[in-house]
Structure formats: C-alpha cells, structure tokens
Amino acid sequence: MTDPHSKNILVFGSTGGVGKAFVEQALAKGHRVTAFLRDRSKLAVDDPNLTIIDGDLFHEPSVKSALTPDLDAVFTAYGFSNKKPDNKHERVTQAVVEGMTASGVSRLVSVSSMGASDSAGIGPFWVRFVAKVILKHIIPDKTLQESVLKTSDLEWTILRPPMLVRKPATGEYTVWEGQKPPNKIAWKVPREDVAAEGLRCIESGDYTHKAMQISS
C-alpha cells in the first residue's frame, strides 16, 4: 500500500551531485521518484519506487511529456557549463514551467546559484569573484532561469548555494532571505544538505514564492 504522506516527485538533473543526493534521500523517506536522464549508468540506484524516463533536457517535447498530472512536485538541479554566453538554464526551465502549467502541476523547488538575480554581491570577496569571473556566463543565465520561475504561476522555491562541496550531509546549514546571513557561515555547503533542504521544502511547502540563500 502506498504511504498517504508520500510524494510523487519528478527530478530534472538527477545525475548531478545535488540531484542524485535528492533522489536517494527522497527514496529513503518513502517518496516515489521519477528521474529524467539521458544516461542510466550515471544513476546506479535500484528501488521499487524509482521510475526512470530516458530523455534529453534540450528536447522540449520530451521534457514536457514527462510532466504528468499525477505528480505532486518537481525538483530541478541541472547545471550546465556555459563556456560562452548562452541561455541553456533559461530554455530548459521555460520548457519545465510550460509543461507543469499544462499538466496542472504547481509545486517546484529549483537549485540556482548564489550571485544570481538579487543575490548578486552577496558574500566575501572570493564568493563574489567566483560569481563574477569564474561563472561569468553561468550566473546571467541562472538569473534568466530565476526570472522564468518568478514570473510563472507556479508555487516555486529557489535555493541558492555558494560553493558546493563533496562532503556528507551535516544537517547544520543556514537558510536565509536577503543579503546578510543571520549568523556566521562558511560560504560553502555539501550537496547532500542542499538536497535535504529541497526535499524538506517539498514536504512542508516552506518558502513558496521565495528565493533563499543556503550555506553551512
């Protein structure tokens, strides 16, 4: 029998660090997960509650067809390496939003990046340097991605981590709105913690229509 409290969640970006951690954590908590991916070998997870859809994020019809009315929520954690000005994040997000709207799915939690949109200028020098120089083509695209979400009719939440690190989840991280964190932070966060907060937001409905910073 299906747990009445479980969610049916579609994940875009399920083979990346945050996305894979989200899939594993959601399944561990009894949720039903559908992973949209291009290469099955990159998600070595075997669970009866996991469904895999083969697809390409840049093939708009495939993205939209994966968004079915039986879904409770969508989690996006894709990250594209823009080596020149591009709008990959914006284009994929637009397809996701249009597909969700057409199928009547409203709840979406999306991982963006600190430095995008109104989080520009947050953090110490090295955080600002990474956003402005290292990610000089990605941050503008992430800003466009966020704009697509903010102007939609969805129940969206945006999570903006700074540096993502490969460490076990700590459960000790700060989530805040605005420029200044409420306490001292390290300006980096494990991918597993970002995934955990994304799942918590889906389960609780917290931070709807808000863009939140998250860091250890």
**The two structure tokens encoding residue 95:** 């397809």
Q: Which domains does the chain have, with CATH numbers?
A: 8-215 (3.40.50.720)
Separation between Cα atoms, residue 154 and residue 26, nearest integer Å: 22
Per the CB < 8 A criterion, the answer to whether 99 and 36 are in contact is: no
Q: pLDDT digit string (tens) for 101-140? A: 999 999 999 999 999 999 898 888 888 888 888 788 889 9
Confidence of residue 4 (pLDDT cuts 50, 70, 90): low
Separation between Cα atoms, residue 69 and residue 67, nearest integer Å: 7
Whether 81 shows a pLDDT value over 80: the answer reads: no
Q: Which of 2-11, 61-70, 89-98 has the lowest mean pLDDT?
A: 2-11
205-210, Cβ contacts within 8 angstroms, sequence gap of 24 or more:
205/107, 205/155, 206/157, 207/157, 207/175, 208/155, 208/156, 208/157, 209/155, 209/156, 209/157, 210/157, 210/158, 210/177
Separation between Cα atoms, residue 108 and residue 2, nearest integer Å: 22
Q: pLDDT digit string (tens) for 20-34? A: 999 999 999 999 999
DSSP, residue by residue, 83-99:
SSS--HHHHHHHHHHHH
Confidence of residue 82 (pLDDT cuts 50, 70, 90): low
**The two structure tokens encoding residue 80:** 């594209």
Task: Pick 181 or 133 by higher pLDDT.
Answer: 181
Q: pLDDT digit string (tens) for 35-73? A: 999 888 788 888 999 999 999 999 999 999 999 999 999
- Identify the three-state secondary structure at position 143: helix
Alpha helices in 31-75 (DSSP H): 60-65
Which of 35, 20, 88, 39 has the alpha carbon at shortest distance from 60?
88
Whether 80 shows a pLDDT value over 90: the answer reads: no
Per the CB < 8 A criterion, the answer to whether 175 and 210 are in contact is: no
pLDDT above 90: percentage of residues in the chain: 74
Which of 56, 149, 34 has the alpha carbon at shortest distance from 100?
149
Give the predicted TM-score (pTM) of the model.
0.93
Separation between Cα atoms, residue 83 and residue 81, nearest integer Å: 6
Q: Which of 60-64, 85-89, 114-118, 164-168 has the lowest mean pLDDT?
A: 85-89
Predicted local confidence at residue 1, as pLDDT: 38
Separation between Cα atoms, residue 193 and residue 201, nearest integer Å: 12
Residues making up the chain, counted from first to last: 216
